[in-house]
Amino acid sequence: MSGSQPFKAVADAMAAKRVTDKCPMCGTERWGLLSTSDGENQFPVVNTAPKAYLLTCLNCGFVRTHIAAVLEGQEPEAP
């Protein structure tokens, strides 16, 4: 994983937690961090869900979701 500063922080947090880089669909290890037009990198998955990072496989487009609070070392908020 490589890329922008927010992506590096997410990648580093995932590496510290020993999260695999392999895409479960195609097996490649190339990921991108989805963001909004204003540069926000955390998304509510649904209106009541905690913020999450959305990563997409740059080969097949598979999207994986990681709760931001967990990667940032916090307890996730209850919905």
For the chain (length 79 residues), average pLDDT per consecutive 10? 63 86 94 69 60 89 88 71
pLDDT value of position 1: 40
Q: Beta-carbon neighbour count of residue 42 at 10 Å?
A: 17
d(CA 52, CA 32): 14
Task: Give the domains, in start order, of the chain with CATH numbers.
Answer: 5-71 (2.20.25)
If you compute the radius of gyration of the chain from its CA atoms, what whole number of angstroms results?
A: 12
pLDDT value of position 38: 57
Q: pTM for the complete prediction?
A: 0.68
* C-alpha separations of 73 from 42, 57, 61 in Å: 15, 24, 27
Question: Residue 63: in which H helix or E strand, if any?
Answer: strand 63-67
Report the Cα–Cα distance between both ends of the chain, in Å, rounded: 30
| Contact by Cβ (8 Å): 1, 31 | yes
